[in-house]
């Protein structure tokens, strides 16, 4: 039995990650677990691609302190809840109106415990309002709190030119208006903003048609369909594809929209370990062999749901293995390229191009326009019969308002730019610049001794902070240094794995990245964040291969 | 006698044993052992091990043929031959190359191509570009979003408002943010698809009452009350919600809000109100059903509406008391996990609100126009008008169904097509027939906007009348 998962799962298993060297390498042309090195193979095989991914485990003492931090926070939470209940401390939370006090409480008490006692204390680090385009620099509206983050007051001042390390602006296409956006302005003036109807009724404009054709061409597939919201593209279309008697195999770290879509479909859902082909294969084998539980009927169809780049881990889906499995077990594959489209592959065609795989091998290609394209909405693409079917059965096409015309034009313009249809190679240069920036940033961080997660080619760079207090300290200090970073904690990540997440953009210059790296380095010393026990990169030879100047 | 005879037999047997040849004894011994084994072993055996061999497993894997990912769709399916609009979908619309007056888009207040709205959006485009590149939590909150939330809350006279980047996702995310497994939701049977999906996502116990039938709702509430008395411990933690629409998308009817509010306090259930059609339409200032009935907005726990109809932008919002609304900022899935609304769309919505506030007379004009066409469409033989006379979106259904839905749809499509040929753009109300909880009968949806002139309304009504007579007779 071929085991395509054989040697390739690096440290893919997140929660049980053993002590491993960061940067364990693996080739993909595996059969029966034999890993072949790409270079040894002479001729290039389409599936040959190094997957260099790392999920280094934290030292024990860090985990102990992290849990202790949560423990102390929880204890104080209980104490303060007790004081609030007895009126010793003033309760700032909004309360139910008098007339409805005898109703069943809208929230269970424990539901909001975490929010009330832990999140509120550090919530100034989220929802920070900005007042400029989310380009490489942005302006943050200054706000202060007089009551320990229960309410905020705007000071009227603006923190100008903060380096933006948080927005998903991979190709730098989200920027303030310039001449390249002239067509967007024209469309806005000609069409207005709304559509006020659904695609099935009176909401398919010629602009949508143009966009759909362009998306299909860009992705090199037969047909594509676009929707007004990225989240809804998943949640409102998966139910059209599978239903009762079907099986969904979903990666444990899939985005909420995929999870919601899967739930709404009524299909049975089984979860496989993050990016773990063995776990997936076991589920597939069992599903095909044993059929549905209780009735023992064979499954009608099996759909595998994965993402291109996982936004919280920075890992890239192990697509070649998954395609091999999908073919072997005749399952269907749905790849959500929300973060990878535009950001991966030599010309930005996403994760299929990154691995050199024909996009036709993926049954359903999904992606969003929110990130690389600096717009909003999402698409589904694939064979023509798939798209035809969706036109008839998609919840979004029948009940959702279609995309705003100027938004569609922004996507058209960005896509043409990326495809070189504007007559320049600037789009291509952006993709290259992004790859360059990504490698540079990741390697520098690794050298400094931070624990960073994910694939070396992924522009999403999570730096592990672990302790909730350090999360707040890190984000606040970075803002003081005029760097806007995103920090994430529970429930978006496992409880003990709070992290800062940097999103690299092609619009970041080397100087900006150096400023940021310097600041992180300083913070790392101040807050003792350099947890990694592999101070040196595991792949020094990489520098020679790629000739990136690391110190300049 | 008997004993001697038996003894004799026994002796003889022993003698025979001595005399018998060894092979015979061995053979018989084996036979006896065999019988013993047969006696003590199970009479029959299931297959000893049910485990499949590797080979069998491989065969099963080889054998399994899944259904195709998507079944083929007939090429002539109406949804594949959809209308294509060239240019803006505003008052005058070019559908499939034909210039028509638009009676299909929900552009009630005609703000879709309003120059002021466009100018505001353009100013926003110049400052912010197009996309937000992030969810609200991660630098996707722009000052425009905060302004819009503030303005919506003020307009609706509520404490707080929250905006979503897609109309459908608004109520579909809001319901599961509050109602969880084990809670009970009383919902109207005619509720729109977004509500249905919200209910499904909440995994609560759903009780459907007959459309606008308050007696039926009270019956269900009473049943639940009796149930609660049996199990008071469970009842203390079971939240109850009533989910209704202001003007129903699927029927064009209005909900009896005063009765609902009475029932709310009587049975202690919270009301969630979906106002996508009634916001910016009903009431003196366009605040919706609450204003229409003169009910205090505080009596409604949550109001949601989209900004895609009256406001002619994209997105949706929820408003109500802070105690209720703020919860969605961490629990509304479509809010937390989706990129925020592009600032130019938020700016457009703000400008549309400005226009609404400056011209409160616009709502009375819309009401008059609704009444006019509603009246003009009465008495068409074969078609009946379904919906309130003041509803800007109502339905034309066949008076006598042919008996098959497919045939009905074809007839109505014929009417729509011929109207289109005579420059009146209409559309059938489209549904996913297999997905709807209670599928409404096929219908043509007529949408009234303030931009339609009296003559156009008259012409539309007479065109529909003539075409219907030609098609149905």
Phi, psi values for residue B279, rounded to 5°: -70, 130
> For residue A329, what is the enclosing H or E element?
helix A319-329
Give B145-179 pLDDT, tens digit per residue: 999 999 999 999 999 999 999 999 999 999 999 99
- Angstrom distances, CA of residue A498 to CA of A313, A339, A464, B247: 11, 21, 6, 45
- Interchain contact A489–B (C-beta under 8 A): no
The residue among B273, B310, B287 whose CA lies nearest residue B447 is: B310
Rounded Cα distance between B285 and B279, Å, is 10
Chain B partners within 8 Å of A1 (Cβ): 54, 58
CB contact under 8 A, A301 and B431: no
CB contact under 8 A, B270 and A103: yes
CB contact under 8 A, A129 and B67: no
- Burial class of residue A115, CB neighbours in 10 A (0-12, 13-18, 19+): middle
Which pLDDT does position A541 carry in this prediction?
A: 43
CB contact under 8 A, A197 and B342: no
Q: How confident is the model at residue B49 (pLDDT cuts 50, 70, 90)?
A: low
Question: Structure tokens of B66?
Answer: 């899944």
Chain B partners within 8 Å of A231 (Cβ): 165-166, 169, 333-334, 337-339
DSSP state of A273: -
CB contact under 8 A, B139 and A166: yes
Beta strands in B39-119, from DSSP E residues, in sequence order? 85-86, 92-95, 98-102
Count H helices and E strands in chain A, helices first: 17, 15
| Cβ within 8 Å of residue A21, ≥6 positions away | A54, A534, A538
Beta strands in B36-130, from DSSP E residues, in sequence order? 85-86, 92-95, 98-102
Minimal CA separation from A540 to chain B, in Å: 34
Which pLDDT does position A536 carry in this prediction?
A: 52
Judged by DSSP in three states, B98 sits in strand
Strand B393-398 to B443-447 pairing: antiparallel
CB contact under 8 A, A200 and B430: yes
Average pLDDT, chain B: 93
Chain A partners within 8 Å of B345 (Cβ): 193, 404, 407
CB contact under 8 A, A486 and B323: no
Give A398-415 pLDDT, tens digit per residue: 999 999 999 999 999 999
Which pLDDT does position A16 carry in this prediction?
A: 38
- Which range has highest mean pLDDT (A45-49, B45-49, B221-225)? B221-225
Which pLDDT does position B409 carry in this prediction?
A: 93
CB contact under 8 A, A174 and B67: no
CB contact under 8 A, A185 and B141: no
Minimal CA separation from B262 to chain A, in Å: 13
Considering only the beta carbons, identify the residue of A100, A191, A194 that sits closest to B308.
A194
CB contact under 8 A, B118 and A174: no
Q: What is the mean pLDDT of residues A263-279?
A: 95
Rounded Cα distance between A355 and A319, Å, is 7
Instruction: Give yes or no for residue A394 having a pLDDT over 80.
Output: yes
Proportion of chain B above pLDDT 90, given as a percent: 84
Q: What is the mean pLDDT of residues A172-184?
A: 93
Chain B partners within 8 Å of A399 (Cβ): 168, 192-194, 432
Instruction: Give yes or no for residue A94 having a pLDDT over 80.
Output: yes
Minimal CA separation from A424 to chain B, in Å: 22
Average pLDDT, chain A: 87
> For residue A368, what is the enclosing H or E element?
strand A364-368
Which pLDDT does position B46 carry in this prediction?
A: 58
Indicate the angle between helix axes A426-448 and A405-419, nearest 10 degrees: 80
Which pLDDT does position B183 carry in this prediction?
A: 95
Instruction: Give yes or no for residue A468 having a pLDDT over 80.
Output: yes
Count H helices and E strands in chain B, helices first: 18, 15
Q: Taking CA atoms, what residue in A is nearest to B178?
A: A106
Give A514-523 pLDDT, tens digit per residue: 999 999 999 9
Minimal CA separation from A261 to chain B, in Å: 9
Minimal CA separation from A166 to chain B, in Å: 7
Instruction: Give yes or no for residue A48 having a pLDDT over 70.
Output: no
| Cβ within 8 Å of residue A230, ≥6 positions away | A257, A338, A368, A369, A370, A376, A377, A378, B338, B339
Task: Find residues 97-126 of chain A whose CB sits inside 8 Å of chain B.
Answer: 97, 99-100, 102-108, 115, 119, 126
Name which of A108-112, A481-485, B392-396 the model is least confident about: A108-112
- Burial class of residue B455, CB neighbours in 10 A (0-12, 13-18, 19+): exposed
Which pLDDT does position B204 carry in this prediction?
A: 96
CB contact under 8 A, B127 and A166: no
Q: What is the mean pLDDT of residues B261-281?
A: 96
Minimal CA separation from A80 to chain B, in Å: 20
Q: What is the mean pLDDT of residues A318-323?
A: 95
Q: Which of A194, A195, A286 should one mutate to test binding to chain B, selecting the residue with the greatest count of B CBs within 10 A?
A: A194
CB contact under 8 A, A330 and B165: no
Rounded Cα distance between A252 and A358, Å, is 26
CB contact under 8 A, A126 and B138: yes
Q: Which of B105, B126, B182, B339 should one mutate to test binding to chain A, selecting the residue with the greatest count of A CBs within 10 A?
A: B339
The residue among A276, A270, A271, A266 whose CA lies nearest residue A244 is: A266
Q: Buried b / exposed e across B230-262, counting CB within 10 Å, b at 16+?
A: eeeeebeebbbbbbbbbbbbbbbbbbbbeebbe
Q: Taking CA atoms, what residue in B is nearest to A172?
A: B133
Contact (Cβ atoms closer than 8 angstroms) between residue B307 and residue B316 = yes
Chain A partners within 8 Å of B122 (Cβ): 185, 188-189
Q: Taking CA atoms, what residue in B is nearest to A389?
A: B73
DSSP state of A422: T
Considering only the beta carbons, identify the residue of A106, A115, A486 that sits closest to B138.
A486
Task: Find residues 317-346 of chain A whose CB sits inside 8 Å of chain B.
Answer: 328-332
Instruction: Give yes or no for residue A84 having a pLDDT over 90.
Output: no
Minimal CA separation from B400 to chain A, in Å: 24
Question: Structure tokens of B354?
Answer: 């400005």
Which pLDDT does position B2 carry in this prediction?
A: 54
Instruction: Give yes or no for residue B398 having a pLDDT over 60.
Output: yes
Ramachandran region, residue A266 (left: φ > 0; alpha: ψ -120 to 50; beta: rest): left
- What sign does the CA torsion over A325, A330, A334, A335 have? positive
Considering only the beta carbons, identify the residue of B60, B125, B140 that sits closest to A289.
B60
Q: What is the mean pLDDT of residues B268-278?
A: 96
Chain B partners within 8 Å of A328 (Cβ): 61
Considering only the beta carbons, identify the residue of A166, A176, A404 that sits closest to B128.
A176
Judged by DSSP in three states, A196 sits in coil
Rounded Cα distance between B103 and B446, Å, is 6
pTM value is 0.88
Give A485-508 pLDDT, tens digit per residue: 999 988 888 888 999 999 999 999
CB contact under 8 A, B79 and A185: no
CB contact under 8 A, B169 and A232: yes
Give A241-251 pLDDT, tens digit per residue: 999 999 999 99
**pLDDT, greater one: A56 or B217:** B217
Question: Structure tokens of B317?
Answer: 């919002």
Instruction: Give yes or no for residue A529 having a pLDDT over 70.
Output: yes
- Interchain contact A264–B (C-beta under 8 A): yes
Q: Taking CA atoms, what residue in B is nearest to A247?
A: B66
Minimal CA separation from B110 to chain A, in Å: 10
Chain B partners within 8 Å of A484 (Cβ): 139
Considering only the beta carbons, identify the residue of B85, B114, B117 that sits closest to A206.
B85
Rounded Cα distance between B282 and B393, Å, is 12
Name which of A38-47, A250-259, A396-405, B180-189 the model is least confident about: A38-47
Give B27-37 pLDDT, tens digit per residue: 989 999 999 88
Q: What is the mean pLDDT of residues A468-492?
A: 93
ipTM of predicted complex: 0.88
Number of inter-chain CB pairs under 8 A, A vs B: 362
- Interchain contact A241–B (C-beta under 8 A): yes
Instruction: Give yes or no for residue A44 having a pLDDT over 80.
Output: no
Q: How confident is the model at residue A548 (pLDDT cuts 50, 70, 90)?
A: very low
Instruction: Give yes or no for residue A373 having a pLDDT over 60.
Output: yes
Q: What is the mean pLDDT of residues B8-18?
A: 80
CB contact under 8 A, A397 and B330: no
Which pLDDT does position B44 carry in this prediction?
A: 61
Which pLDDT does position A542 carry in this prediction?
A: 44
């Amino acid at each position: 039995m071929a085991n395509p998962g054989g040697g390739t799962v690096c440290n893919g298993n997140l929660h049980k990650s053993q002590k491993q060297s960061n940067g364990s390498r693996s080739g993909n042309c595996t059969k029966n677990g034999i890993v072949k090195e790409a270079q040894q193979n002479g001729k290039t095989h389409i599936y040959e691609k190094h997957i260099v991914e790392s999920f280094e485990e934290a030292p024990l003492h860090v985990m102990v302190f992290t849990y202790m931090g949560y423990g102390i926070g929880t204890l104080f939470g209980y104490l303060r809840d007790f004081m609030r209940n007895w009126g010793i401390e003033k309760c700032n939370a909004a309360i139910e109106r008098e007339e409805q006090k005898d109703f069943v409480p809208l929230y269970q008490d424990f539901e909001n415990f975490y929010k009330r006692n832990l999140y509120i204390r550090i919530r100034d680090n989220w929802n920070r309002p900005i007042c400029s385009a989310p380009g490489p620099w942005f302006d943050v509206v200054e706000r202060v709190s007089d009551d320990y983050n229960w309410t905020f007051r705007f000071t009227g001042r603006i923190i100008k030119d903060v380096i933006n390390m948080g927005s998903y602006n991979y190709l730098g296409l989200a920027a303030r208006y310039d001449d390249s956006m002239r067509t967007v302005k024209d469309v806005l003036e000609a069409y207005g903003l709304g559509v006020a109807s659904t695609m099935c009724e009176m909401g398919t404009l010629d602009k949508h048609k143009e966009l759909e054709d362009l998306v299909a061409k860009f992705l090199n597939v037969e047909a594509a369909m676009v929707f007004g919201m990225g989240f809804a593209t998943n949640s409102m279309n998966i139910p059209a594809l599978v239903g009762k008697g079907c099986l969904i195999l979903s990666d444990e770290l899939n985005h909420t929209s995929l999870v919601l879509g899967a739930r709404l479909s009524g299909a049975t859902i089984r979860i496989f370990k993050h990016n773990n082909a063995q776990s997936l294969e076991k589920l597939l084998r069992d599903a095909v062999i044993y059929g549905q539980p209780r009735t023992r009927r064979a499954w009608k169809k099996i759909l595998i749901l994965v993402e291109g780049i996982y936004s919280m881990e920075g890992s890239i889906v192990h697509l070649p293995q998954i395609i091999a499995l999908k073919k072997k077990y005749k399952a269907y594959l749905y790849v959500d390229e929300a973060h990878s489209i535009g950001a991966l592959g030599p010309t930005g065609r996403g994760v299929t191009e990154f691995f050199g795989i024909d996009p036709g091998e993926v049954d359903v290609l999904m992606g969003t326009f929110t990130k690389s394209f600096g717009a909003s909405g999402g698409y589904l693409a694939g064979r023509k019969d798939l798209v035809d079917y969706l036109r008839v059965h998609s919840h979004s096409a029948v009940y959702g308002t279609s995309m705003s015309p100027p938004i569609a034009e922004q996507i058209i313009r960005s896509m043409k730019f990326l495809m070189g249809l504007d007559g320049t190679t600037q789009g291509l240069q952006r993709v290259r610049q992004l790859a360059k920036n990504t490698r540079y940033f990741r390697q520098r961080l690794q050298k400094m001794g931070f624990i960073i997660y994910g694939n070396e080619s992924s522009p999403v760079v999570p730096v592990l902070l672990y302790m909730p207090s350090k999360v707040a300290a890190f984000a606040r200090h970075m803002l003081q240094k005029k760097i806007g970073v995103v920090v994430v904690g529970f429930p978006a990540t496992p409880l003990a794995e709070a992290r800062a997440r940097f999103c690299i953009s092609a619009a970041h210059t080397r100087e900006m990245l150096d400023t940021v790296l310097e600041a992180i380095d300083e913070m790392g010393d101040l807050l003792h964040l350099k947890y990694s026990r592999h101070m040196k990169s595991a792949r020094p030879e990489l520098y020679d291969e790629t000739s990136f100047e690391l110190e300049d | 006698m008997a004993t001697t005879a038996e003894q004799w037999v026994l002796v003889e047997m022993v003698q025979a044993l001595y005399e018998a040849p060894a092979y015979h004894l061995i053979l018989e011994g084996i036979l006896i052992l065999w019988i013993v084994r047969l006696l003590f072993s199970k009479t029959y055996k299931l297959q000893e091990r049910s485990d499949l061999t590797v080979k069998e497993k491989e065969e099963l894997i080889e054998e399994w043929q899944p259904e195709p990912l998507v079944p083929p769709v007939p090429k002539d399916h109406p949804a594949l031959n959809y209308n294509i609009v060239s240019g803006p979908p505003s008052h005058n619309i070019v559908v499939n190359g034909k210039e028509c007056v638009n009676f299909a888009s929900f552009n009630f207040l005609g703000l879709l191509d309003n120059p002021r709205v466009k100018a505001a959006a353009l100013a926003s485009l110049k400052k912010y570009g197009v996309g937000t590149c992030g969810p609200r939590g991660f630098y996707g909150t722009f000052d425009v979003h905060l302004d819009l939330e503030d303005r919506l809350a003020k307009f609706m006279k509520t404490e707080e408002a929250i905006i979503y980047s897609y109309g459908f996702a608004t109520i579909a995310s809001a319901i599961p943010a509050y109602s969880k497994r084990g809670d009970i939701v009383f919902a109207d049977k005619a509720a729109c698809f977004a509500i249905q999906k919200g209910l499904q996502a909440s995994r609560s116990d759903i009780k459907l009452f007959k459309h606008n039938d308050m007696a039926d709702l009270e019956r269900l509430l009473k049943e639940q009350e009796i149930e609660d008395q049996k199990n008071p411990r469970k009842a203390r933690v079971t939240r109850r919600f009533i989910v209704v629409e202001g003007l129903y998308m699927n029927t064009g009817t209005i909900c009896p809000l005063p009765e609902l509010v009475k029932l709310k306090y009587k049975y202690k259930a919270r009301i969630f109100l979906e106002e996508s059609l009634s916001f910016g339409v009903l009431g003196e200032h366009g605040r919706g059903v609450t204003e229409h009935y003169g009910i205090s907005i505080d009596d409604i726990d949550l109001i949601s509406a989209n900004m895609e109809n009256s406001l002619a932008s994209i997105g949706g919002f929820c408003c109500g008391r802070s105690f209720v609304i703020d919860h969605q900022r961490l629990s509304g899935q479509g809010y937390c996990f989706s990129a925020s609304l592009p600032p130019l769309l938020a700016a457009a919505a703000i400008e549309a609100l400005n226009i609404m506030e400056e011209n409160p007379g616009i709502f009375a004009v819309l009401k008059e126009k609704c009444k006019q066409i509603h009246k003009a469409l009465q008495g068409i033989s074969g078609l009946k008008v379904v919906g309130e006379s003041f509803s800007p979106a109502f339905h034309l259904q066949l008076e006598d169904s042919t008996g098959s839905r497919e045939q009905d749809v074809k007839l109505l499509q014929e009417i729509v097509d011929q109207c289109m040929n005579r420059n009146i753009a209409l559309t059938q109300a489209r549904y996913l027939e297999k997905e709807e909880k209670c599928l409404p009968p096929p219908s043509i949806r007529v949408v009234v906007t303030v931009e339609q002139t009296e003559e156009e309304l008259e012409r539309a009504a007479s065109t529909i009348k003539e075409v219907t007579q030609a098609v149905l007779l």
